[in-house]
Structure 1
Amino acid sequence: MRTEVHGAVLVVVLDRPEARNAVDEATALAVDAALTRLEDDDALRVGVLTGAGGVFSAGMDLKARARGESPVLGSTGFAGLTRRRRSKPLVAAVEGWALGGGTELVLACDVVVASREARFGLPEVTRGIVAPQGGLVRLPRRIPRAVAAELLLTGAALGAERAEQLGLVSRLTEPGGALAGALEVAEQVVAAAPLAVSAVKRVLDETADLPEAEAFTRQDALVADVLRSQDAAEGARAFAERRAPRWQGR
């Protein structure tokens, strides 16, 4: 695994192309450390997760697993991501296959940018196992339940264009363009007000399973300070003065 910094964006690259970027224990620990860096560094606002060599990830490295390694890390889950609590947005940039745990990594991200040639799949049932790191729980919440059920019960693959139609993928690019597309999305997030971005992330995460009335109550508590912030006043002034806003994060 390697990382790159693009301004306020941290790019995390799964870099084991010889293993189709399958995740072994060392890779999981490295991703976990990178995501901790993203969370702790105030200069970093957004993360991008991608894979090297034209493949996103083949999921768990089964050879490493057979040697006794585990890419599932305590409270943060597979590759240190699938069960991690995050306050900063993470964008997936998907080229080629995202299989098994690879699709679960995608499901753990907030925004998904994919090449038209990308393919997703959770083939665990064909190997006598299931997808417990987000596949079973998150996929039916991201796409229609009947479609998710078919994919989970059969192990069939899902192409990027169909995934975009279903809402799993938010933006399609030409082959080779997923990372550039993800960076474009990330830079748009960076340009937005940091307090507002943080509030949106929390509301999305904390109200997803609540009834509407409870969701509004929780939302109101989370956004109250943002609506009274100096940045909110600056946003209005900048609009009126036809200039770019100067965010202070307060």
Structure 2
Amino acid sequence: MTDPIAPPEGTITTERRGALLLIGINRPAKYNGFTPRMFRELGEAYSLLDDDPDLRVGVLHAFGKHFTAGLDLPTIAPLMQRGEKAIPLGNVEPTDLGTPGYRRRTKPMVVAVKGITYTLGIELMLAADIVVAADDCRFSQLEVKRGIMATGGATLRMAERAGLGNAMLHLLTGDEFGSVEALRLNFVQKVVAAGQELEAALDIAQAIAAQAPLAVVATRLSALKAVEHGPLAAMEEFIDVQAKLANSEDAKEGVRSFVERRAAKFTGR
């Protein structure tokens, strides 16, 4: 993939590949540090994924050698001081925190990370569903070194994935760790040789896109509800959700494909 030319303030690219939406972070000259424009465009890209019925899975990746060094503080600090967000209200929130005024993503997101993956980079991947990491990744949640706190989900999700002690080790020291440690902590799901991370992420996304879209979304939301609200809250929805799915055209196609011993052709209806 040829890296597109990026403006000084960076940009977020989108590329359709069938049912996949590739979302690219593009400011390699500045280690893909996020500016207000990039935040705004990222929210727009995530919203496009959720709103377009032809799209089934998102793949977040980056141009250049690194995923992102995190926030471009000189451009973001004024917003932080005013308590403002760079993403316009009404968009899908990429960190998926359920902030009032923002939508939560419903469709799956696979992330390919590489090189420097600091602060916001970790929070974006923890907010996604599946993460493929290059073996050259350098992770750090270093907000404490800058006098601020991680507010994109790291304080929530690092402890949930790795346990409180492991989370405190990295949150409170701001140390740098590699892909092996990230895999041990369940921050990433797969580690591959540098340069192969996007291809591996695309393979996973294609496998997801081949499944029944309504069932994929329902399954994802059920698992998320169990994590955030507990197993009983998720179980309460089982019968109603399953009844809706069982009456869908895709469920009927699933039965036909089983009887006819062929791959199913799902439409999302």
State TM-score, norm by structure 2: 0.85
Q: Find the residue that maps to 1:133 and give its secondary structure.
A: coil
Q: How many angstroms does 1:241 deviate by?
A: 2.3
Equivalent residue, structure 1, for 2:140: 121
Equivalent residue, structure 1, for 2:15: 4
Q: Which of the residues 45, 49, 61 maps onto 1:38?
A: 49
Moved over 6 A (4+): none
Which structure 2 segments of 5+ residues have no match? 1-11, 98-102
Contact 1:123/1:156 (8 A) holds in 2: yes
Superposed, 1:156-167 pairs within 5 Å as 156-167=175-186
Change (3 A) 1:76 1:248: closer
Equivalent residue, structure 2, for 1:73: 87
Contact 1:29/1:80 (8 A) holds in 2: no
Contact 2:225/2:233 (8 A) holds in 1: no
Greater alpha carbon shift after TM alignment, 214-223 vs 151-160? 214-223
Q: Which of the residues 17, 21, 39 maps onto 2:28?
A: 17
Letter in 2 for 1:226: L
State how far apart, in whole Å, the 1-side matches of 2:162 and 2:248 are: 35
Superposed, 1:148-159 pairs within 5 Å as 148-159=167-178
Deviations 1:128-170 (A, max 9, x none): 1110111111111122221111111111223112212322211
Deviations 1:154-188 (A, max 9, x none): 11223112212322211221101111111111100
Contact 1:23/1:71 (8 A) holds in 2: no
Letter in 1 for 2:219: V
Equivalent residue, structure 1, for 2:7: none
Deviations 1:207-229 (A, max 9, x none): 21333333311333333311343
Contact 1:207/1:218 (8 A) holds in 2: no
Q: Percent identity?
A: 37
Contact 1:96/1:118 (8 A) holds in 2: yes
State how far apart, in whole Å, the 1-side matches of 2:116 and 2:59 are: 17
Equivalent residue, structure 1, for 2:8: none
Contact 1:60/1:71 (8 A) holds in 2: no
Q: How many angstroms does 1:76 deviate by?
A: 7.5
Which structure 1 segments of 5+ residues have no match? none
Change (3 A) 1:113 1:139: same
Give the count of matched residue pairs: 249
Q: Find the residue that maps to 2:228 and give its secondary structure.
A: coil
State how far apart, in whole Å, the 2-side matches of 1:68 and 1:207 are: 34
Change (3 A) 1:146 1:217: same
State how far apart, in whole Å, the 1-side matches of 2:233 and 2:248 are: 24
